[in-house]
Amino acid sequence: MSPRRTVHRGRWTLDDRAAEVLRSVPVEVPDGTAALTVRLDYPRDAGVLDLGCQGPAGFRGWSGGARDGYTVAVDWATPGYLPGALEPGRWQVLLRLHRIPPEGLGYELTVTTSTDRPAPPDRTAVPPSPERPPGRSLPAVDGLRWLAGDLHAHTVHSDGTSTVAELAALAAARGLDFLAVTDHNTVSHHPELPPVGARYGITLLPGQEVTTDRGHANVFGPVGWIDFREHPDEWLIAAERRGGVISVNHPLGADCAWRHPLRVRPRLAEVWHSGWWDRTWGAPLAWAQSWRPDVVPVGGSDFHRPGEGPVIGSPTTWVLAGPDDLLGGLRAGRTAVSAGPDAPLLLRIGDELLALDADGTVLVRPDGGRRVLHGDRVLLPGVDGMHLLESYRTEVVALCA
């Protein structure tokens, strides 16, 4: 049977966006369909339309504004989308009206269904395993050890340019023990993580950056898809019910700062994001102190593409955990954050603090008290609350829960 093609044309206005930001265009998928292909055309210099897909049985993928089309087939799908049987009936092409100019935004949507199975693109090339740098000598605590990682990174499954394998190779070359892969509003990358992590000797933590116009949050763990269309209270409930952990992302991050009201505020917060480019600027710390008194600080590079923006592991999040229980360490609040894997580090060891490679820095206690550190391995008393290391310029160089 020849492919069946349907074209939808229209114009979105500011009134449309004000009334409802997420829209859908219905698409009929006949019985026996083996592939659905969607192409979205509009003047990208004038606005932004986000793109996604939902079938009669549920959500099938999201690519936001990063792509102008996708294919969902029986045995493969465009990154960001879920392959599998295409159940007959009414599907929805999802469109989020992200940026609409005053004059409106015209669009053309071309939908093609076919009974033929298209050949998948060639994704067989994988980077070689890099040489891993030596790890730091850190004390174990009650059988747990400090693991270095990055809790925020993207691949081709959303708006990154690296495959999961390329991302894992970069993280291993930095000497990281774990990396959370947190693509926007999708979990299509999750099946790739265990085999790729094993190949490169790194734990790839399943994640999803739940992304809206009023804020982003990372959900960590193999908890399945979290519906970004629900209220964030529901994200938290779903994540915890399924055994996951949720963190508020870059709460002061320009146009994606956190503005959602919440009945319950999660403890984890991405206090140190790569966008904190001037760490003498105290706003992230002030926000964390007002968020909740027992906030658990974490960090994330928000890595998207090599050679542009932050590198993986800048900052580095350290989690005190068992070898197979990163989520337990995060949930318990056993975290520290440094500028990188080899940067000055402040760890909590029971009731004490251990400052490493931090000679000449200043320890800042939760009550504002200060102490200059002398030596590369200094043991200090600690109290409840977040502690900082600062340079003489009052630049934050490390922190711990």
**Is the residue at 204 inside a domain?**
yes
- CA 156 – CA 56 distance, rounded (Å): 26
Given 294, 311, 343, the domain boundary residue is 343
Q: Are 79 and 157 in contact (CB under 8 A)?
A: yes
Q: Are residues 177 and 301 in the same domain?
A: yes
Q: Are residues 36 and 181 in the same domain?
A: no
SS3 content of the chain, % helix, strand, coil (to 5): 15, 40, 45
Given 75, 92, 114, the domain boundary residue is 114
Structural domain boundaries enclosing 229: 145-343
Q: Which of 208, 228, 175, 295 is nearest to 59 (CA)?
A: 228
Q: Are residues 54 and 172 in the same domain?
A: no
**Is the residue at 51 inside a domain?**
yes
Exposure of 43 by Cβ count < 10 A (0-12 exposed, 13-18 middle, 19+ buried)?
Answer: exposed
Length of the chain: 401
- CA 171 – CA 341 distance, rounded (Å): 11
- CA 401 – CA 398 distance, rounded (Å): 11
Read off φ and ψ for residue 367, nearest 5 degrees.
Answer: -85, 5
- CA 329 – CA 233 distance, rounded (Å): 23
Within 8 A by CB and 6+ apart from 220, the residues are 151, 180, 182, 205, 206, 207, 244, 245, 246, 247, 326, 327, 330
Residue 304: which CATH number?
Answer: 3.20.20.140
- CA 309 – CA 301 distance, rounded (Å): 9
- CA 273 – CA 216 distance, rounded (Å): 13
Tens of each residue's pLDDT in the chain, 401 residues: 579 999 999 999 999 999 999 999 999 999 999 999 999 999 999 999 999 999 999 999 999 999 999 999 999 999 999 999 999 999 999 999 999 999 999 999 999 999 999 888 887 788 999 999 998 999 999 999 999 999 999 999 999 999 999 999 999 999 999 999 999 999 999 999 999 999 999 999 999 999 999 999 999 999 999 999 999 999 999 999 999 999 999 999 988 999 999 999 999 999 999 999 999 999 999 999 999 999 999 999 999 999 998 999 999 999 999 989 999 999 999 999 999 999 999 999 989 999 999 999 999 999 999 999 999 999 999 999 999 999 999 999 999 99
- CA 282 – CA 278 distance, rounded (Å): 9
- CA 342 – CA 338 distance, rounded (Å): 8
Residue 144 has what DSSP assignment? B
Q: Are residues 183 and 266 in the same domain?
A: yes
- CA 83 – CA 85 distance, rounded (Å): 7
Q: Are residues 185 and 324 in the same domain?
A: yes
pTM of the model: 0.96
**Is the residue at 109 inside a domain?**
yes
Distances in whole angstroms, Cα of residue 103 to Cα of each of 25, 41, 99: 21, 17, 12
Sheet holding 22-29, edge to edge: 22-29, 89-99, 48-55, 58-64
- CA 77 – CA 61 distance, rounded (Å): 9
